Amino acid sequence: MNAGSVLPLAFAGLLAAAAGPAGAVELHTERSLYRNIVVYDDDGLRCMKFGRHAAGRQTCMSLADRDRLVFDYTRMMMAALYLNPSPQRLLIIGLGGGTLPTALQKILPAARIDAVEVDPAVVRVAGKYFGFAPGRQTTVFEEDGRVFVKRMQKQQIRYDLVLLDAFDHEYIPEHLLTREFLLEVRSILAPGGVLAANTFATSRLYHFESATYYSAFGDFYRLKRSNRVILVRAGGLPDWEELARNAGILEERLAPLGVGREWLLPLIGVESGWPPGTRVLTDQYSPSNLLNVSN
């Protein structure tokens, strides 16, 4: 999760208000500086959501098999490794329950990982209820993701892999959706560095997000289920043969996560071209203005 203004009405149809699942056991609730945080067990899963009445879940963990990735989108994010199978320095923006850094620590034990989360309460909850424990190569920064990227930009730090997974209870914070932010991220990618971004598969912003990513990176790969994961690589996308070769290299390491090439490779496709006149999201022309939603 990360801070920033959000779209309070734009996704109301997608994220209808809902109470916790029937039969769920609530373990923890608190009001942080940013929002309500709720942790509950339900049907063999431990989940976190932001907002007592939000339908969306930020994190779920299998209580029977804690290595297995529960959500399709987290498994799809692993496809970033098909574009660069041996990243040495990683940046993850948005912590949730620590699912992504926990998985990547296990499959890339020598890699240095920076995880950025704006809400200290989320970091505490991830450790207490989801077993998130930063390894010796992992550092957690409690600050806004864009502020962190700007600082790395000034320090000329470069990453081999950047994962954007910053969500509030409604959608991605606006300041992490714009072309200016994506260009800042592009500037901290090492040669051959990869960006993976978790977005919605259907939303009123879909084409605008696509056009914005294209304006910053050109054609990109995408995987789509209930979410859409966008993949780009500095210097251009790899061809299919390289993806398949890297998938084979990674198959054994990804298997404990519940990720396999037979499931993952067919989801990958190139996305390019949008309806004429599609607006690029910018710091000045924000999603709120585009959708005529007042903050």
DSSP assignments along 45-101, one per residue: EEEEEESTT----SEEEESS-TTSB-SHHHHHHTTHHHH-S--SEEEEE--TTSHHH
Catalytic residues: 165
Q: Is 83 left (phi over 0), alpha (psi -120 to 50) or beta?
A: alpha
CA distances from 69 to 65, 72, 77, 173 (A): 9, 8, 11, 24
- What is the spatial distance between Cα 43 and Cα 60, in angstroms, rounded to a whole number? 11
DSSP assignments along 88-129, one per residue: SEEEEE--TTSHHHHHHHHH-TTSEEEEE-S-HHHHHHHHHH
Q: Which residues pair with 138 in a beta bridge?
A: 113
